[in-house]
Structure 1
C-alpha cells in the first residue's frame, strides 16, 4: 500500500511540474529554503564553536576584544540569515503581486517559476490553478453567452410576432376610425396613429438589434454596413469601410465581430458625445481586424462597465485579441483581431 501511495505522489508531482514550461529544470537546480537557512545557521555555529575551542575565549569579566569578536560574529550571522531569507522570499512577493494583478478577462499572465523548491512548487500550483480557472471561465462564459443569444432570439421573435402584430392591428383600426371621425377629432386620431406607428418602428428596431437577421441571411459584410447606417442618426455620422474579400470565419467569429461593433457604436451614441464615428473591417495576417473609432470624450478614468466586460468575454470565446484605448487624437478606439479558420468559408 505504501508503494502505491508513493507512485501516486510522484505522479501528481510530475503532472504539476510538466504544466509550466521550464519548471522541472528550475526545481532540479533549486535548494529548499529549509536547507538554505539550516546550512547557514549550521555554518555559523560550527565556525563559532571552532573559534571558541581555539583562539577565542571569553573571560569574566568580558574583555573588549572578546566582546568585539562575539558582536561581529553575531552580526555576520544575522546578515547571512537576512540575505538568505530575502532571496528565498522574493519569489513569494512576486507571486503575491501576480495574484493581485490576475484578471481572468486578461488571460495568459503567469508568475515566474523561481526560488527554493517549496516556493517553486507553490508558484507551479498557482499557475496550474490559474490555467484551469481561465478554461472554466471561458467555458462558462460560452454557455452563458449562448443562452443569452437564444433568449435574445426568443424575445425578438415575440416582439415581432406578438407586439408588432398587435400594434399593426391597432394602426389599421385607427385608420378605419379616422375615416369615420368628425373633422374636429381627426387631428387627435392622427396623433394616435403617428404615436402607434413610431412605437411599431421602435419595436422593429429593438427586434433587429436583439436578433441580427441580416447577419444570418446576408452575412457579416452586409450586417456591418447595415449597422453603420442604423447608427447614422441625428448628430452622429458613422463612416464604414467593410470590404467583401475577407478570409474564412466561423459563425461564432462573425457573431462576435457583429456584437462588438454593435456595443462599440452603442457606447459611442450613448456616452461619448461624438458627432463622427468610423467602422472598419480589414483582413490582416492570420485573420481580420475590426476597428470602431469616434471623436468623443474618450474613456478617461471611467471604470469598465458590463458592455465592455461583455466584449472581452466574447473575444475570449473565439481566441480574439481586444484592445480599448484612446483614438489617434481624441475619442475612443476599439480594436478586435479575430483569427481566421481554413475549415469554413466566410459568408458574403
Structure 2
C-alpha cells in the first residue's frame, strides 16, 4: 500500500488529501448531533465556522508538507551557479516530486560537464592564439624593431652632433617599445614557466609587478611536489590575474603571495602520506572587493580552476584589502607530474 501511495502523482496526492479532509468533516456532520436552523443560530454558526477553520488548517498543513520539496527546489534553481559546482538537492518527497528533484540534479550534472568541456575548448583555442601572437611579436615585430635600432645606431654614429642626439633619443624610444613588446610576449606565453618551473615563474612574476609603488612579497615552499603542466599553468595564471587586478583596481601598496604544499596526514595503515593540496594565497591591502560584481577576469579564473578541480575563493582579507585563495587537490597523477591535456592562459587584459 505504501509503495502504491509513493507512485501516485502530485495531483492525485493533493486531491486525496483534500478529499480526506472533506470526507472527515462530512462524516462528523452526518453522525454528530449537528443541526442547522433557518435562519442559522449563533451557536450553529460558531460550530460550522470552527469546522471550516479546522478543515482549512489541516488542508494547509498537509499541502505545506507535501509541497515543501518544491519550495527547496525553487530556491536552489534561483541560486545555482555553474561556476561553483557540486551543489545538489537532497532527494526527498515521494513519487513525482522525488523524480523531479532527481531530474534536476541530473540536469545540473550534464550542464556542468558541458560547460567544463566548452570552457576547456575555448581556453585551449585561446592558448593557441596567444602563443601564435606571442611568437609573431617576438619573431616579426621584435626582429623589425631590432633592425631599426641597429640602423638608428649607424645613423647616429655618422650624423653631426645635434642630429645624433635626436637620433639617440628616438633610439631609446624604440628600445623601450621593444622591451614592452617582449614583456607582452612573455605574459602571453610564459616561457620561464616551461623552462624553469612554477617557482621561478612566480618569482619572476612578482618581480614584474614590484614597480610603481606596489611591493610584492613572496613566500614559496621549497618542497613542492611535481605538478602537471596544467596545474602549474592554472596556478601561474591565477596569480598573474590577481596581481593584475590588484595593480589596476585596488590601490594597494603591498601584496603577499604565498605558495604552500599541505600534505595530508600520514596514513598509518598505508605507511605513507597521500595527496594533500597546493594552496596559492594572494592578499593585498587595497580597497577590497566591497561586494562588486565579478567581471570577466574573475569568471575566467573560476573556469580555469574548474578544469583541474580546484576551489577558488575571493573575498575580503582580514583587516582590509582582498584575498584570493586557490586550493588545488593533489591526486596520484599530480604527484607524478602527469601532464593534463587542457591548457589555456588567462590574459592580463581581462578585467575584474
Q: Assess same fold via TM > 0.5.
A: yes
Task: Please give the per-residue CA displacement for 1:110-131, whole angstroms capped at 9, x wherever unaligned.
Answer: 2232234322221221111111
Higher relative contact order (CA 8 A, sep 6+): 2
Determine the C-alpha separation between the residues in 2 that align with 1:54 and 1:300: 66
Task: Please give the per-residue CA displacement for 1:144-171, whole angstroms capped at 9, x wherever unaligned.
Answer: 1111111111110000001101111111
Do the aligned partners of 1:293 and 1:331 also contact (CA within 8 Å) in 2?
yes
Which range moves more in the overlay, 188-197 or 62-71? 62-71
2:278 corresponds to which of 284, 288, 294:
288
* Residue matched to 2:78: 100
* Residue matched to 2:345: none
| TM-score normalized by the length of structure 2 | 0.85
| Residues 28-47 of structure 1: pairs in structure 2 closer than 5 A | 32=10, 34-47=12-25
Deviation at 1:340, TM superposition (A): 2.0
* Residue matched to 1:18: none
Change (3 A) 1:63 1:275: closer
* Residue matched to 2:271: none
| Residues 316-327 of structure 1: pairs in structure 2 closer than 5 A | 316-327=306-317
1:304 aligned onto 2:294: yes
| Residues 21-170 of structure 1: pairs in structure 2 closer than 5 A | 32=10, 34-49=12-27, 51-52=29-30, 55-170=33-148
Do the aligned partners of 2:21 and 2:59 also contact (CA within 8 Å) in 1?
no
Determine the C-alpha separation between the residues in 2 that align with 1:321 and 1:67: 64
* Residue matched to 2:157: 179
| TM-score normalized by the length of structure 1 | 0.86
Deviation at 1:61, TM superposition (A): 3.6
Determine the C-alpha separation between the residues in 1 that align with 2:8 and 2:89: 17
Do the aligned partners of 2:6 and 2:94 also contact (CA within 8 Å) in 1?
no
Determine the C-alpha separation between the residues in 1 that align with 2:32 and 2:329: 74
* Residue matched to 2:304: 314
Unaligned ranges ≥5, structure 1: 1-24
Deviation at 1:47, TM superposition (A): 4.0
1:224 aligned onto 2:202: yes
- SS of 2:19 mapped into structure 1: helix
| Residues 149-298 of structure 1: pairs in structure 2 closer than 5 A | 149-285=127-263, 286-298=276-288
Do the aligned partners of 1:41 and 1:81 also contact (CA within 8 Å) in 2?
no
Determine the C-alpha separation between the residues in 1 that align with 2:15 and 2:198: 64
Which range moves more in the overlay, 201-210 or 266-275? 266-275
- SS of 1:343 mapped into structure 2: helix
Superposed CA RMSD: 2.3
Change (3 A) 1:225 1:29: farther
